[in-house]
Amino acid sequence: MMEVDGQDIAAQVKRAVQQARLAEAKSLIDMHLDSLADERQKAELLYLDAVIYRIQKNYSEALSSLTRLLVLRPDYGRAYQEKGYCLLALEANKEAAACFYHATLHNPALLPSWQQLIIIYQQQEQHNAFALAQQKVAALNSLPKPVLGGYDLMYEGAFHAADKVCRQFLQENKHHPEGMVLLAEIGMQLNVFYEAEFLLESCTTLYPENQAAAQSYLNLLYKLGKYEQVIKVADRLLKQQPENVAVSVTKANAVVGLGQLDDGIAIFMERLEAQENLPGVWLALGHAYKAKGNIAHALHAYQKAASLTPELGDAYWSLANTKTYTFSDQEIEAMQQLESTSLSIENRIHLLFALAKAQEDRQHYDEAFQYYARANSLKLRTSRFNIEPVERAVEAQIEACPAELSGLGDAGCDIADPIFIVGLPRAGSTLLEQILASHSCVDGTMELHNIMGIAASLGGGKKAYPHSLADLTSEQRRLLGQKYIDDTRCYRAGAPYFIDKMPNNFMHIGLIKSILPHAKIIDARREPFACCFSGYKQLFGDGQEFTYGLNEIGRYYVAYEKLMKHWDELFPGQILRVQHEDVLDDLEGQVHRMLDYCGLPFEEQCLSFYNTERVVKTPSSQQVRQPIYQTGRDQWRHFESHLQPLFDALNRYPA
């Protein structure tokens, strides 16, 4: 049986609708809808199905198709817009306004939704919302049509189509600022950060007065962990707009990222003293206090954010994510009632994870898993993550870094300062970092993005990364290694060695050994069931999309093991594997083992690591401020009956 081309069917349906051949269009949809395996293609046909029903004034069937669609694609902005039109026709103006609002949340380029909101807000005399919608319409109308169309495609997830439209526009309108910003935004969505950074840096140089370009550049620099540059750009923007809260918060977060917690907290407090009703600033303040280890102040800040905006799911998740907070019966009931209302997807995801943690703490494991499953399913669908490119990337590393790479000798930068800790999230890497950072000769830093940035910069030549590694000269390797040392200096406090704990760097060990041959590499490993389920339970601030599906995280773990086996064979004896369970069972023995590997003398304070005061910004920030405990070891067993997809993906089964 031939596979149906959903894109071709959708194109035929659109042509039929445009030519008012509705019966033919509906027949095509009915014939092919259920045979489509691709959820995005199925969602597109359901959208067209709803449009046809609305044109025919069959609003109940239109709403039924949209309900099915939003299960498949809960972030589809046009579906909310179409739902808004149906509800308007049914004179349900309040519900329609909510739909148009959600449409603009998921696709801010939907001009018709903004125009409908202007009408509704004017009727309801919501003056502030009316003014904001007017500003948005004016801004969108000022964009060239190809740029507006590109934004529309990007927000609907059609990144490659958006990229094509934007590049064609820029060929005809070289250095157009809105076009450059859009192309950079698309690049960020496609993780082409090197090109995005170049575009935005160029745009802000050519058009220093362009606020949109400067804001995008600021956000990208922060995402890449380039905190010193963030502060410089933010200071320049604040001279022009001293009351810009978003820029102030980004600057304060960058200051915190550099470990200057008190200075960052002072910026947050200054903003809140001027205007208390800023829930996002209270959240950021709470994160800073949490990183500092001041949980009481963090809890107060999170609770303040929740009181100001009760539907702010991130406030409840932040409380849960302290790992020490216990929700009261009243709080759980309030969250459950809130979850049953109309929320944005982001707020719903945060709230579901918080409810899952609350039920797990009460040992209501089946109910907790239902919340975890709903939260992860929603997050996975909206992230558009696909495990197959990761598996191909692992194969590319193995192919590009064969045995001859191990014969590089000392080519590269001869500085031996870095200690890389790699692995999977929730595998115990933060604990290892805290232990080593307790040593007088070692600086703890944070999850640094520098190696991934270098990897991205090596993908723009004749050969794609990692195949481009083989063509690097000894001098190029040395310069890249020196650049890494120079760029990470701002995170250090003067100790001879420093830790770079970015778990995802396991993918780039070939690069690390090429440019920093004397660096130490520690592989933080954890028993797969515990590691994978712990990742599945965690809502990460950014990245780690593979953790939001049991099949996905299982396959990721298998890919990680396969690549680490390759690195171990390629660099025998040069990578130290530390098993989390061994640390729990024999802390002192494993501390000696790590220090010996790093060439460091034993220091007693490494055993009392929980007394070390330093910035910790990962989900384990509270655990590493306590002595070793065993409670998390077999938590997955409470959920064992639900984990068959994980066991199948790992091809391992519990005893």
CATH number at residue 315: 1.25.40.10
| 381-413 confidence digits (pLDDT tens) | 888 899 999 999 999 999 998 865 665 666 899
Contacts 24+ apart (CB under 8 A), 159-166: 159/186, 159/189, 159/190, 162/186, 163/190
Same domain, residue pair 445 and 576 = yes
Please compute the mean of the pLDDT values over residues 234-253 and round it to a whole number.
Answer: 94
Query: What sign does the CA torsion over 408, 412, 413, 417 have?
Result: negative
Yes or no: say if 169 and 150 are a contact pair by the CB < 8 Å rule.
yes
Do residues 549 and 529 share a domain? yes
pLDDT of amino acid 1: 42
In a domain, residue 95? The reply is yes
Q: Is 434 a domain residue? A: yes
The predicted pLDDT at position 622 comes to: 54
109 with 238, same domain: the answer is no
For 508-534, give one letter per residue: b (16+ CB within 10 A) or e: bbbbbbbbbbebbbbbbbbebbbbbbb
Least Cα distance to 632 among 647, 539, 372, 624 occurs for 624
Q: Which helix (H) or strand (E) holds 577?
A: strand 575-579
Residue ranges in 90-210 assigned as alpha helix (H): 93-106, 111-123, 127-141, 145-155, 159-172, 177-189, 193-206
CB 156 within 8 A of CB 78: yes
CATH of the domain at 396: 3.40.50.300
For residue 148, the Cα-to-chain-centroid distance in whole angstroms is: 25
Taking the C-alpha atoms of residue 577 and residue 45, their distance in angstroms, rounded to an integer, is 50
Q: Residue 509 domain-assigned?
A: yes
Q: Higher model confidence: residue 401 or residue 619?
A: 401
- Give me the residue label for tokens 């039929």: 16
Are 303 and 408 within one domain?
no
376 & 395 share domain: no
pLDDT at residue 625 greater than cutoff 80: no
The last residue of one of the domains, among 141, 175, 206, is 141
479-486 long-range contacts (CB < 8 A, ≥24 apart) are: 479/413, 480/412, 480/413, 480/454, 480/515, 481/412, 481/413, 481/415, 481/515, 481/516, 482/413, 482/415, 483/454, 484/413, 484/418, 484/450, 484/451, 484/454, 484/515, 484/516, 485/413, 485/415, 485/417, 485/418
Tens of pLDDT, residues 80-129 = 999 999 999 999 989 999 999 999 999 999 999 999 999 999 998 999 99
User: Do 449 and 583 fall into the same domain?
Assistant: yes
- Which residues are CB-neighbours of 431 under 8 A, at least 6 positions away? 580, 583, 609, 620, 623, 624
The Cα-based distances of 279 to 304, 507, 520 in angstroms read: 7, 37, 42
Q: Are residues 203 and 309 in the same domain?
A: yes
Q: 79 and 155 in contact (C-beta within 8 Å)?
A: no
Domain boundary among 141, 175, 200: 141
d(CA 265, CA 167): 42
Tokens 């209270």 found at: 282
CA-nearest of 567, 467, 491 to 523 is 567
Strand order through the sheet with 520-525: 442-443, 497-500, 418-423, 520-525, 575-579
Q: Are residues 355 and 391 in the same domain?
A: no
How many Cα neighbours within 13 Å face the side chain of 28? 25
In a domain, 54, yes or no: yes
The 10s digit of each residue's pLDDT in 458-491 is 876 778 899 999 889 999 999 999 999 999 998 8
Number of compact structural domains in the chain: 3
29 plus 94 within the same structural domain: yes
- How far, in Å, CA of 435 to CA of 591, rounded? 8
* 522 and 594 Cβ atoms separated by less than 8 Å: yes
Domain-terminating residue out of 351, 383, 415 = 383
Strand ranges for 435-574 from DSSP E = 442-443, 497-500, 520-525
Q: Does residue 153 form part of some domain?
A: no
Mean pLDDT of the chain: 92
Residue 151 lies in a domain: no
Residue 629: domain span: 387-650
Beta bridge pairs of residue 249: none
Are the C-beta atoms of 250 and 217 separated by less than 8 Å? no
Asked whether the beta carbons of 256 and 480 are under 8 A apart, the reply is: no
Assess whether 323 and 416 both reside in one domain.
no
Query: What's the rounded Cα separation, in Å, for the pair 94 and 258?
Result: 46
Domain match, 81 and 111 both: yes
Are 200 and 136 contained in the same domain?
Answer: no
pLDDT, one tens digit per residue, over 519-549 is: 999 999 999 999 999 999 999 988 899 999 9
Q: What tens digit of pLDDT does each residue of 564-596 get?
A: 999 999 999 999 999 999 999 999 999 999 999
With CA atoms as reference, report the closest residue to 63 among 35, 40, 96: 96
pLDDT band at 607 (very low <50, low <70, confident <90, very high): very high
The answer to whether residue 148 is domain-embedded is no
Cα–Cα dist 121/252, whole Å: 34
CA angle centred on 110, ends 108 and 113, rounded to 5°: 105
Task: Name the one residue in this structure whose structure tokens are 């009915």.
Answer: 30
Q: Is residue 234 part of a domain?
A: yes
Residue at 457: amino acid letter: S
R_g (Cα) of the chain, nearest Å? 26
Query: What pLDDT is recorded for position 194?
Result: 85
